[in-house]
């Protein structure tokens, strides 16, 4: 499911949609008033929300068992380092100006402040054929991904994903591509079924792999041949160290088949500030010739009133020369964390993927089950990771390790890991 | 359509959903690559997005014709007055602290900061039976309304609204309640068809009418009898001057049938900062007994990563004693604007509704068409209003006038209006 997953590009998440034929399993006995409004029973089919709650539950249990040990959390990928002052000063100045007649701003454009859209094009797309009018500023990539139905959950909620099969751990209507070391983290496209939408995340979460130029050329070609739309998630592009493309639009022809979604969260530490963007090229058309950008614009205007203007002021500061330099120094800090942790896992004789182009390590523990490895690491080192199987059936035998963290925490984790013996 | 509209409570906005049987009207000739992904042809059926673009087009035309006249915009309801310093200082302090190890914050809870949720309950719900865990902090009410499918457009996009009938100006599957002076802006519920969802906005946009306690009691009773869910938009509640309820939960039994959506936009001038909230009571259940709040929570967690933490810090400051006092002084400023403008329109012999409990006037021009009145006011006074018919078929003969504006602008508008003779 991870790395390369495809799903039908269909309606957005639902709140309610009756499907009376499905079974309902009540989670608890509740009291209240039964309306006559039917529940959307597709909600029953959601699975992966058990992952992080399950991890939290095991952490709590662990803390009870070892009340004096300090747990180190390398699970959820949450940024930890302060935002550089050049960026927060700009946000602070903007908010203070909101108290003046000259500086006050009410509604902005739903698509975002044009100055910011221009700066995004200049910084991230340079000479590539991306126009400022094709950039839609968002409150983070998750929201736009959901508007585009590109994640599994959105498809499940609307009923497009089909039933969940316990035996395979897969939804019926989603095409899963197993990507791992055996295929250089890229699927064999000659064996891949056609879908309307191809969701592709590079550098990838959880594997940390960045697709090569050649792989992306194949992908664009595949989408073109099949008449598919690629939804390309490049939220970790700033972490790329080698010559892998940082944008899908570096591939000729991609503007005709790809939407790109990105975010300030992991570059600028904006996970809580909330800011991202989506590029929908003019050249991308539905089968009837209608431009996708027109409908996306309409969805944005109907369902979203624009990102917070304070966050947008911060984003603009991020893209100033000083801001960009400061941002990248934080990225470098996390990359050094990645080096430290990768070296620690490698010292155990394990194959470590990712980390070079992404803030995640994808650690292979051949022959072991992900949850067992998770449990053993927690038991022996008091470190929280994420079992790879939580990301999909192809993640078995792996664990994901985030490299966001204060340096002293990462060094302490490294020390603990080096004394670990996995059985 | 305004004041009281009901629609089926169904799936959220769609990006794409093939419906090959509808006609496609191309808006322009475009060049690009046709994928094989079918467009969601329900998008074709959207109507009301022509309103504000049409107003802008007429404004541009007018400026060309009268390049030396100063146009006054009383059209779109956008806040104009600076945010009180006690609020922006808190936001500024929060952003500056993001540059420190102690003050840095990454991902917050998707449902919002618990301190803010508690403050919302304390400030807006006092002794009412609303719990902090039932409050979901949002990035403004529009987004949650769209997640709940309560606005016309969301229903159209998903295909629930049915076809648009040009003769009536209505969508087939939506029940429209004509509300006006003749029925005290409240529908005859004994003649109203049952729907899954009743969307009710009070104080109302565009009519400016706040429903009385008795009217809301009828509404709750009606919803209970029919097993419907009320989606209650109370974004303008802070403008209520008389004894009308400020929350639907002031009505006994409402927690069993109603969701309430509200916003800091028009209270605190947060139209650009983006902050709102939604209350989903534990007691509200689907027909199968499943709590609506569980699914709403899941939708929020899947499709939204929480409001900007800077905006939330601002919201918390709004609810401090000094913040609340400062906010209400801005509300009072706009209410004084409303008095000035209401008096001006009344001096023309027109019946003016709204303004007392809302920042909008709803001006009746019997026998005249809305667009004609709009044109005449623009031509003679260079003031932009909104033709009431743009809000739905029941708005004919009315214009909506926003009372957001700098005092000197409002006074100038008043002077110009008083010399107006409508023909």
Phi/psi class of residue B312: alpha, beta or left (left: φ > 0; alpha: ψ in -120 to 50)?
Answer: alpha
Determine the distance in angstroms separating the CA of B350 from the nearest CA of chain A, rounded to an integer.
Answer: 31
Taken in order B263, B265, B267, B270, the sign of the CA dihedral is positive
- The mean pLDDT of B98-106, rounded to a whole number, is 97
8 A C-beta contact, residue B356 and residue B160: no
Q: d(Cα A381, Cα B353) in Å, to the nearest integer?
A: 69
- State phi, psi for B200 to the nearest 5 degrees: -135, 125
Determine the distance in angstroms separating the CA of A393 from the nearest CA of chain B, rounded to an integer.
Answer: 20
Please tell me the predicted confidence (pLDDT) of residue B20.
32
Q: What is the pLDDT of residues B205-228, one digit of tens each?
A: 999 999 999 999 999 999 999 999
Q: Environment class of residue B70 by beta-carbon count within 10 Å: exposed (0-12), middle (13-18) or buried (19+)?
A: exposed
Phi/psi class of residue B47: alpha, beta or left (left: φ > 0; alpha: ψ in -120 to 50)?
Answer: alpha
Q: d(Cα B280, Cα B295) in Å, to the nearest integer?
A: 10
Q: Environment class of residue A64 by beta-carbon count within 10 Å: exposed (0-12), middle (13-18) or buried (19+)?
A: exposed
Q: d(Cα A88, Cα B96) in Å, to the nearest integer?
A: 5
DSSP, residue by residue, A311-369: HHHHHHHHTSHHHHHHHHHHHHHHHHHHHHHHHHHHTTT-EEEESSSSSEEEEE-TTS-
Termini Cα distance of chain A: 27
DSSP one-letter code for A39: P
Q: Is B302 in Cβ contact with A79 (below 8 Å)?
A: no
Q: Environment class of residue B61 by beta-carbon count within 10 Å: exposed (0-12), middle (13-18) or buried (19+)?
A: exposed
Structure tokens at B307: 């409001």
Tokens 């004609």 belong to which residue? B372
Q: d(Cα B79, Cα A349) in Å, to the nearest integer?
A: 62
Give the bridge partners for A354, in sequence order.
A361
How large is the greatest C-alpha to C-alpha distance in chain A, in angstroms?
A: 67
Confidence of residue B149 (pLDDT cuts 50, 70, 90): low
Tokens 């009412």 belong to which residue? B128
In B98-151, alpha helices (H): 114-120, 141-147
Confidence of residue B42 (pLDDT cuts 50, 70, 90): confident
8 A C-beta contact, residue A177 and residue A3: yes
- The mean pLDDT of B75-88, rounded to a whole number, is 96
Ranges of beta strands (E only) in A106-213 are: 135-138, 164-165, 170-171, 175-176, 197-201
Q: Which residues contact B299 (CB under 8 A, 6 or more apart)?
A: A13, A14, A15, A157, B12, B147
Q: Is B256 in Cβ contact with A33 (below 8 Å)?
A: yes
Q: d(Cα B34, Cα A285) in Å, to the nearest integer?
A: 5
Torsion of the alpha carbons at A204, A209, A210 and A216, rounded to the nearest 10: -90
Interior CA angle at B198 toward B192 and B201, to 5°? 110
Confidence of residue B152 (pLDDT cuts 50, 70, 90): low
- Which of A310-324, B47-61, B363-377 shows the lowest per-residue confidence on average (mean pLDDT)? B47-61
Q: d(Cα A64, Cα A66) in Å, to the nearest integer?
A: 6
**Cα B159 to the center of its chain, rounded Å:** 22
Q: d(Cα A294, Cα A298) in Å, to the nearest integer?
A: 6
- State phi, psi for A179 to the nearest 5 degrees: -125, 130
CA-based nearest residue in chain B for residue A96: B88
- The mean pLDDT of B91-112, rounded to a whole number, is 97
- H or E stretch including B164? strand B164-165
Short-list B134, B330, B124, CA closest to B246: B124
Please tell me the predicted confidence (pLDDT) of residue B355.
97
Q: d(Cα A282, Cα A291) in Å, to the nearest integer?
A: 6
Q: Is B78 in Cβ contact with A107 (below 8 Å)?
A: yes
8 A C-beta contact, residue A235 and residue A124: no
Please tell me the predicted confidence (pLDDT) of residue B144.
73
Structure tokens at B201: 């906005």
Q: Is B92 in Cβ contact with A228 (below 8 Å)?
A: no
Q: d(Cα A370, Cα A374) in Å, to the nearest integer?
A: 6
Determine the distance in angstroms separating the CA of B7 from the nearest CA of chain A, rounded to an integer.
Answer: 12
What ipTM was estimated for this complex? Answer: 0.91
Q: Is A38 in Cβ contact with B154 (below 8 Å)?
A: no
Taken in order B193, B196, B201, B202, the sign of the CA dihedral is positive
- The mean pLDDT of B375-381, rounded to a whole number, is 97
- State phi, psi for B221 to the nearest 5 degrees: -60, -45
Please tell me the predicted confidence (pLDDT) of residue B2.
36
User: Which is it for strands B4-7 and B197-201: parallel, antiparallel or unpaired?
Assistant: antiparallel
Please tell me the predicted confidence (pLDDT) of residue A382.
98
Listed as own residue / partner, the contacts of B121-124 with beta carbons closer than 8 Å and 24 or more positions apart are B122/B319, B123/B319, B123/B324, B124/B237, B124/B246, B124/B247, B124/B262
What are the Cα distances from residue A285, in Å, to A146, A365, B19, B34? Answer: 20, 44, 16, 5
Tokens 């309606």 belong to which residue? A11
8 A C-beta contact, residue B324 and residue B238: no
Structure tokens at B416: 């110009």
Task: Report, as ranges of residue numbers, the positions in chain A whose pLDDT lies below 70.
Answer: 1-30, 47-49, 147-152, 154, 158, 423
The closest CB to that of B304, out of A31, A104, A143, belongs to: A143
Q: Is B290 in Cβ contact with A24 (below 8 Å)?
A: yes
Domains of chain B listed by start with CATH number: 48-76+323-418 (3.90.1150.10), 85-320 (3.40.640.10)
The closest CB to that of B142, out of A85, A154, A305, belongs to: A305
- H or E stretch including A284? strand A284-285
Q: Is A108 in Cβ contact with B147 (below 8 Å)?
A: no
Interior CA angle at A236 toward A224 and A350, to 5°? 105
Please tell me the predicted confidence (pLDDT) of residue A8.
29
DSSP one-letter code for B18: B
Tally DSSP H helices, then E strands, for chain A.
12, 17
Residues in chain B within 8 Å Cβ distance of A38: 286-288
Short-list B233, B224, B219, B195, CA closest to B285: B224
DSSP, residue by residue, B291-302: BHHHHHHHHHHH
Structure tokens at B387: 């033709």
8 A C-beta contact, residue B171 and residue B162: yes
DSSP, residue by residue, B46-61: --GGGHHHHHHHHHHH
Q: In terms of pLDDT, which residue wins out, B191 or B121?
A: B121
Please tell me the predicted confidence (pLDDT) of residue A18.
33
CA-based nearest residue in chain A for residue B327: A99
Q: Is B310 in Cβ contact with A273 (below 8 Å)?
A: yes
Which residue of A155, A293, A310, A317 to mutate against B (max B Cβ within 10 Å)? A310
- Which of A296-300, B56-60, B339-343 shows the lowest per-residue confidence on average (mean pLDDT)? A296-300
Q: Is A12 in Cβ contact with B12 (below 8 Å)?
A: yes
CA-based nearest residue in chain B for residue A292: B39
Mean pLDDT (chain B, rounded): 89
Q: d(Cα B382, Cα B405) in Å, to the nearest integer?
A: 15
Q: In terms of pLDDT, which residue wins out, B115 or A177?
A: B115
Residues in chain B within 8 Å Cβ distance of A229: 35, 37
User: Which is it for strands A386-387 and A398-402: parallel, antiparallel or unpaired?
Assistant: antiparallel
């Amino acid at each position: 499911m991870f790395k390369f997953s495809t799903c039908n590009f269909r309606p957005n998440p639902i709140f309610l949609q009756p499907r009376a034929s499905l079974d309902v399993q009540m989670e608890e006995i509740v009291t209240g008033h039964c309306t006559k409004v039917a529940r959307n029973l597709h909600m029953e089919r959601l699975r992966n929300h058990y992952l992080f709650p399950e991890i939290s539950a095991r952490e709590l249990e662990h803390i009870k068992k070892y009340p004096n040990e300090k747990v180190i959390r390398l699970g959820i990928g949450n940024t930890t380092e302060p935002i550089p002052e050049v960026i927060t000063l700009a946000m602070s100045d903007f908010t203070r100006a909101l108290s003046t007649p000259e500086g006050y701003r009410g509604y902005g454009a739903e698509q975002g402040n044009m100055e910011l859209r221009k700066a995004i094009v200049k910084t991230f797309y340079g000479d590539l054929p991306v126009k400022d009018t094709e950039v839609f500023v968002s409150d983070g990539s998750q929201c736009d991904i959901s508007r585009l139905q590109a994640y599994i959950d959105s498809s499940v909620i609307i009923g497009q994903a089909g039933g969940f099969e316990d035996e395979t751990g897969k939804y019926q209507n989603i095409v899963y591509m197993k990507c791992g070391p055996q295929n250089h983290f890229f699927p064999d496209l000659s064996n891949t079924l056609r879908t309307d939408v191809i969701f592709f995340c590079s550098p990838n979460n959880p594997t940390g792999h960045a697709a090569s130029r050649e792989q992306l050329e194949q992908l664009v070609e595949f989408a073109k041949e099949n008449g598919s739309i690629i939804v390309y998630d490049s939220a970790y592009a700033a972490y790329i160290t080698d010559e892998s493309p940082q944008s899908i639009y570096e591939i000729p022809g991609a503007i005709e088949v790809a939407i790109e979604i990105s975010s300030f969260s992991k570059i600028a530490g904006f996970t809580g500030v909330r800011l991202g963007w989506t590029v929908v090229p003019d050249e991308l058309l539905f089968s009837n010739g209608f431009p996708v950008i027109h409908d996306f614009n309409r969805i944005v205007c109907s369902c979203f009133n624009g990102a917070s203007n304070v966050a947008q002021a911060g984003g603009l500061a991020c893209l100033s020369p000083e801001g960009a330099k400061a941002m990248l120094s934080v990225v470098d800090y996390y990359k050094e964390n990645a080096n430290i942790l990768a070296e620690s896992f490698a010292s155990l004789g394990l194959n470590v993927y990712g980390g070079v182009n992404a803030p995640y390590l994808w650690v292979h523990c051949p022959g072991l089950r992900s949850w067992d490895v998770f449990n053993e690491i927690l038991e022996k080192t008091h470190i929280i990771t994420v079992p790879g199987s939580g990301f999909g059936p192809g993640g078995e035998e792996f664990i994901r390790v985030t490299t966001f963290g204060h340096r002293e925490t990462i060094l302490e984790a490294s020390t603990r890991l080096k004394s670990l013996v996995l059985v």
